[in-house]
């Protein structure tokens, strides 16, 4: 049975349809007083020729709020087993690929490997398989990791309030749920079966997590999935600001992954160019100045290096997107191909050379031992 | 001129306290700390990684001889602050703790209720507690009665560089306090530090304004000079503030 719309879904439904047909004057006005209300102008084609101005303003805002620091984290894929069918994903259940779910002991070993490379912020990632990656399994993972990983987040299927509360009690800091696209029609076309097919369950999951005590909330949109990337960036910005107002104790981070080659063979409906991608990140920074912006190794090194100087506050590095991929790579299907293959130390050195402090540890254990 | 002050039994000469956050590199931070002449440096326990001690952790770049003041930045309630303080004491060996309880990550405004609760528990556990707090005269009295070694009211939102926006409240807090008043947070330029010292604060704590300056080392020195200037100005005692001009050569002088 599908879920009724959550609070943010109702808020989103009440917003006027955006128009991205602003002119240069609108861009000038938006740059003078940036905010959520003028985000359509910043995202409009008319703003693209003004990209350098956008970047300069975004950089100012990022430095003011976050200083010259970038937080480093690593994804730890625990399983690619999946009962959902999503047309763009290499883990989709209908794909005949090598599947693997790590045991809790194997998760600990992978985490120790990542800690050995310097990481203290780990993101446990899994496909949607509530038997292989059950609530009990995830709780056990968090309990085993918390003594040596100060910041643990999960990016998995959505859960009930009770499960989020159990994860928090076990030591969980963050939960990441990308909506992928906020367009209901396109969501239905690309999420064909499984738990994730329910748009409203997906969208309200961040609210349930916040109400259950999760203090870092990750949201995002997969650019290229819908025909109108601008509308998705606008919606994710609305979502971030709404969450910050509704749950004042939480920190909100936003990610804008672009579609990457995967076993799904999916091609983006409308490709998002590098310049448009930078425009989206700058506009998001200006509209939601307090949101952390996350950039993964999906994007190539040069683009990541550039965006670290403009708007990004959190980066992964040296990532593997297959379960067990840090110790025994090549045994299971990866979720997508990474572009930036530099080691964590190389990414940290890049940040230092650019005048930024790579922050390996910015957390403390939320529950004892 | 000897103008010492003290935090509990720690005798200090410099009235500028500094922090370690937001610098673009640890090496630059170290140089700025040295230039500040400060004797006390606060460090966020959430950023300390004892596993990396000796391998580039932030503590490796604190100049020798500076007193470490661990802070509980990131704690959202009294329980977390107390637990962090204990971890800090176990890890660094000092009982000094700068108590920060900030449940709202956007304003980082200190939670007065949880801060007072944590202060009472930490004092009972033998910590020397320096609480970051709202510029609230009554709260500062409570914190003092709870046994805190100082009070540290904010000048403006932390990291905002907005200056001494709470001046009126700071004047009251300074007038009533029996423990040192350290104006913490929001001081953006050296003249802000001078203003806080002129008003009568015992010391100021500055981090962001130094760390994000174009030249943090020079800015650290500027804050040191301004803090000293403000202190001297306070000790010297300013002239009365008048509604109208008072001529230095009175017109009726010929009558006397």
Number of domains in chain A: 1
User: By the 8 A CB rule, do B85 and B117 touch?
Assistant: no
SS (H, E, C) chain B: CCCCEEECCEEECCCEEEECCCCCCHHHHHHHHHHHCCCEEEEEHHHCCHHHCCCCCHHHHCCCCCEEEEECCCCCCHHHHHHHHHHHHHHHCCCEEEECCCCCCCCCCCCHHHHHHHHHHHHHCCCEEEEEECCCHHHHHHHHHCCCCCEEEECCCCCCCCCCCCHHHHHHHHHHCCCCEEEECCCCCHHHHHHHHHHCCCEEEECHHHHCCCCHHHHHHHHHHHHHHHHHHHHHCCCCCCCCCCCCCCCCHHHC
Q: Nearest by CB to B46, which of A67, A115, A362?
A: A362
Task: Encode pLDDT of A152-169 as tens digits.
Answer: 999 999 999 999 999 999
The predicted pLDDT at position A1 comes to 64
Select from A251, A356, A366 the Cβ nearest to the Cβ of B24.
A356
Helix (H) or strand (E) holding A264: none
- pLDDT for residue B85: 95
Residue matched to tokens 């309880």: B101
Please state the rounded mean pLDDT for residues A186-209.
95
Dump pLDDT digits (tens) for A295-323: 999 999 999 999 999 999 999 999 999 99
Which residues lie closer than 8 Å to A80 by C-beta, 6 or more apart?
A90, A91, A97, A99, A100, A101, A126, A127, A322, A323, A332, A333, A335
C-beta separation of A34 from A286 below 8 A: yes
Query: ipTM of this predicted complex?
Result: 0.79
Quick check: A130 contacting B, CB < 8 Å? no
Q: Is the pLDDT of residue A339 over 80?
A: yes
Which residues of chain B make contact with A65, given a CB cutoff of 8 A? Answer: 159
Chain B nearest-CA distance from A100, in A, is 32
Smallest Cα distance from B7 to chain A, Å? 27
Strands, sheet with B96-99, edge to edge from the N-terminal-most edge strand: B152-153, B128-133, B96-99, B67-71, B40-44, B16-19, B203-206, B182-184
Please give the domain boundaries of chain B with CATH numbers for all domains: 5-255 (3.20.20.70)
Q: Is residue A8 part of a domain?
A: no
Residue A139 above 90 pLDDT?
Answer: yes
Q: Does A249 touch chain B (CB under 8 A)?
A: yes
Whole-number Å distance between alpha carbons of A188 and A63: 39
Query: Hey, of A173, A243, A357, which one would you mutate to test binding to chain B, going by the most B CBs within 10 A of its CB?
Result: A357
Q: Provide mean pLDDT across the span A261-272.
A: 80
Provide, as residue numbers in chain B, all residues whose Cβ is less than 8 Å from the Cβ of A357: 23-26
Which tokens go with B221?
């020195």
B98 given a catalytic annotation: yes
Q: Would an 8 Å CB–CB cutoff place A290 in contact with chain B?
A: yes
**Interface residue of A60, A62, A64, A67 to substitute, partner B, most B CBs within 10 Å:** A67
- The active-site residue, picked from B98, B117, B142, B234, is B98
What's the confidence (pLDDT) of residue B1? 59
Does pTM surpass 0.80? yes
Numbered residues of chain B with Cβ closer than 8 Å to any chain A Cβ: 21-26, 45-49, 51-52, 74, 76, 80, 83-84, 87, 103-106, 159, 208, 211-212
- Give the A:B interface size as CB pairs under 8 Å: 61
Does residue A368 belong to any structural domain of this protein?
no
Angstrom distance (rounded) from CA B18 to CA B42: 6
Q: CB B212 to CB A368 under 8 A? A: no
Is A364's CB within 8 Å of B211's CB?
no
Mean per-residue pLDDT of chain B: 92
Q: Is the pLDDT of residue A90 over 90?
A: no
Between the CA atoms of A73, A78, A80 and A82, what dihedral angle is there, to the nearest 10 degrees?
-110
β-strand pairing of B10-12 with B5-7: antiparallel
The percentage of chain A sitting over the pLDDT mark of 90, rounded to a whole number, equals 84
Instruction: Give the containing element (helix H, strand E) for A192.
Output: strand A191-193
In a domain, A316, yes or no: yes
Q: Residue A230: inside a domain, yes or no?
A: yes
Contact yes or no for A67 and B83 at CB 8 A: no
| A200 occurs within a structural domain | yes
Q: Is residue A346 in a domain?
A: yes
Mean pLDDT on A235-245? 97
- pLDDT at position A335 is 84
What's the domain range around A144? 23-359
Q: What is the pLDDT of residue A67?
A: 85
Instruction: Tell me whether residue A94 is in a domain.
Output: yes
Helix axes A229-246, A274-287, angle to 10 degrees: 20
Q: Which helix (H) or strand (E) holds A252?
A: strand A251-255
A19-58, pLDDT tens digit by residue?
999 999 999 999 999 999 999 999 999 999 999 999 999 9
Compute the nearest-CA separation of B91 from chain A (Å).
13
pLDDT-above-70 percentage for chain A: 99
Confidence (pLDDT) at A369: 61
B208 interaction partners in chain A (CB closer than 8 Å): 67
The runs of H, that is alpha helices, within chain A are: 7-13, 24-32, 39-43, 51-66, 104-116, 135-145, 161-170, 184-190, 199-211, 229-246, 274-287, 301-308, 344-353
Q: SS3 of A258, please?
A: strand
- Is A128 domain-assigned? yes
Residues of A in contact with B51 (CB under 8 A): 115
Nearest CA in chain B to A247: B104
CB nearest to A67's CB, from B48, B52, B211: B211
Contacts of A118 in chain B (CB under 8 A): 52
* Chain A residue numbers touching B104 (CB-CB < 8 A): 248-249
Residue A264 has pLDDT above 80, yes or no: no
Q: Which two three-digit tokens encode residue A183? A: 């367009």
- The CATH number of residue A260's host domain is 3.20.20.70
Answer whether A112 touches B (CB < 8 Å): no
Report residues of chain B scoring pLDDT below 50: none
**A361–B83 CB contact, under 8 Å:** no
* A366 touching chain B per CB within 8 A: yes
Confirm if A8 and A239 have CB atoms less than 8 A apart: yes
CB contact under 8 A, A67 and B105: no
| A69 → closest Cβ in B22, B46, B51 | B22
Mean per-residue pLDDT, A126-132: 94
């Amino acid at each position: 049975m599908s879920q009724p719309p959550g609070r943010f879904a109702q808020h989103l439904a009440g917003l006027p349809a955006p128009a991205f047909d602003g002119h240069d004057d609108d861009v000038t006005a938006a740059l003078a007083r940036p905010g959520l209300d003028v985000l359509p102008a910043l995202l409009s084609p008319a703003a693209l020729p003004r990209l350098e101005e956008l970047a300069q303003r975004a950089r100012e805002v990022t430095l003011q709020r976050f200083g010259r620091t970038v937080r480093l984290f690593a994804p730890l894929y625990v399983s690619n087993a999946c009962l959902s069918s999503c047309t763009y994903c290499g883990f989709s259940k209908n794909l005949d690929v090598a599947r693997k779910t790590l045991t809790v002991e194997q998760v600990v070993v992978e985490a120790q490997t990542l800690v050995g490379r310097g990481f203290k912020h780990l993101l446990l990632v899994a496909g949607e398989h509530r038997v292989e990656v059950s609530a009990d399994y995830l709780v056990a993972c968090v309990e085993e990791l918390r003594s040596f990983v100060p910041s643990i987040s999960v990016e998995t299927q959505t859960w009930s309030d009770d499960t989020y509360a159990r994860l928090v009690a076990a030591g969980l800091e963050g939960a990441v749920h990308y909506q992928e696209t906020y367009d209901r029609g396109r969501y239905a076309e690309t999420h064909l079966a499984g738990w994730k097919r329910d748009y409203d369950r997906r969208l309200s999951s961040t609210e349930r997590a916040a109400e259950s005590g999760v203090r870092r909330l990750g949201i995002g949109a997969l650019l290229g999935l819908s025909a109108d990337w601008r509308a998705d960036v606008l919606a994710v910005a609305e979502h971030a600001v709404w969450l910050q107002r509704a749950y004042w104790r939480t920190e909100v981070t936003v990610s804008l992954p672009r579609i990457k080659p995967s076993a799904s063979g999916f091609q983006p409906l409308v490709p998002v160019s590098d310049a448009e991608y930078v425009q989206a990140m700058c506009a998001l920074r200006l509209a939601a100045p307090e949101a952390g912006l996350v950039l993964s190794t999906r994007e190539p090194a040069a683009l990541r290096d550039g965006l670290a100087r403009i708007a990004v506050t959190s980066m992964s590095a040296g990532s593997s997107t297959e379960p067990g991929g840090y110790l025994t790579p090549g045994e299971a299907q990866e979720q997508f191909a990474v572009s930036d293959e530099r080691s964590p130390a190389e990414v940290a050195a890049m940040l230092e050379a650019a005048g930024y402090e790579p922050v390996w540890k910015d957390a403390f254990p939320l529950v004892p031992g | 001129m000897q103008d010492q002050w003290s935090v509990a039994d720690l005798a200090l000469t410099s009235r500028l306290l500094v922090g370690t956050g937001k610098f673009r590199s640890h090496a630059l931070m170290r140089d700025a700390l040295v230039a500040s002449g400060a004797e006390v440096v606060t460090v966020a326990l959430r950023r300390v990684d004892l596993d990396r001690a000796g391998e580039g952790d932030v503590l490796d770049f604190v100049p020798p001889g500076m007193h470490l003041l661990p802070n509980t930045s990131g704690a959202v309630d009294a329980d977390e602050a107390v637990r962090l303080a204990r971890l800090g004491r176990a890890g660094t060996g000092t009982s000094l703790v700068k108590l920060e309880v900030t449940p709202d990550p956007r304003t980082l405004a200190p939670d007065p209720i949880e801060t007072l609760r944590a202060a009472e528990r930490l004092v009972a556990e033998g910590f020397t507690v320096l609480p970051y707090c709202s510029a609230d005269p009554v709260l500062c009295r409570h914190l003092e009665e709870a046994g805190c070694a100082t009070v540290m009211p904010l000048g403006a939102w932390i990291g905002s560089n907005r200056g001494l926006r709470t001046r009126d409240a700071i004047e009251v807090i300074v007038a009533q306090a029996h423990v040192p008043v350290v104006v913490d947070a929001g001081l953006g330029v050296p003249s802000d530090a001078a203003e806080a010292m002129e008003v009568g604060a015992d010391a100021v704590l500055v981090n962001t304004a130094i760390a994000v300056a174009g030249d943090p080392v020079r800015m650290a020195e500027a804050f040191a000079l301004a803090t000293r200037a403000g202190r001297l100005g306070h000790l010297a005692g300013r002239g009365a503030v008048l509604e109208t001009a008072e001529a230095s050569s009175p017109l009726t002088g010929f009558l006397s």
